[in-house]
Structure 1
């Protein structure tokens, strides 16, 4: 499996550690997060999604695959916890050492 880029790995590690501040810090100030069509803007939006759908639901991520697709990275994550359970593709755009866009698809 290809190595997961550091900003994405930090987001995964923060989720698994339940560290909301580290999770938000993995994203740029103007990040965009989309979860199955529902959009969240900026770090405040990222924090909102995190509290209702991720760390707030005690999610745990396990990488099942990673590939680069042009300027994007696609990471298949197995998600377990108190919310969604299953595998989804997460598409990421990076800006330096942070995530500028994360899109979750079924």
Structure 2
């Protein structure tokens, strides 16, 4: 997936997916695309630092979020996977 490609990023989610980003909640692929992916994905690069937990239904990652504008930070991405798509993503500051 090319960096900054909101459509490609959004295609990883199920149609009824829920993405929680700190204190914001986006329900459904359209809301994830318009509220999260389009305004934010183009400005970030993610480096996976550690796979914290592997589960039958997904995994938790520790990542370093690098912003083009500066102000990098670490976060945990807790993802559930179902049939190759993400129904739930919980993104929290580490």
Is the structural similarity TM-score above 0.5?
Answer: yes
Indicate whether 1:25 and 2:11 are aligned.
Answer: yes
Structure 2 unaligned spans of 5+: none
After TM superposition, which residue ranges in structure 1, 4 or more long, deviate above 3 angstroms? 69-72
Instruction: Using structure 1 for the length normalisation, give the TM-score.
Output: 0.75
Instruction: Using structure 2 for the length normalisation, give the TM-score.
Output: 0.84
| Greater fraction of residues in strand | 2
Q: How many residues align?
A: 90
In structure 2, what is the equivalent of residue 89 of structure 1? 76
- Are the equivalent residues in 1 in contact too, given 2:57–2:82 (CA < 8 A)? no
In structure 2, what is the equivalent of residue 42 of structure 1? 28
| Greater fraction of residues in helix | 1
Structure 1 unaligned spans of 5+: 1-12
CA RMSD, Structure 1 to Structure 2 (Å): 1.8
- Are the equivalent residues in 1 in contact too, given 2:10–2:29 (CA < 8 A)? yes
- Are the equivalent residues in 2 in contact too, given 1:89–1:104 (CA < 8 A)? yes
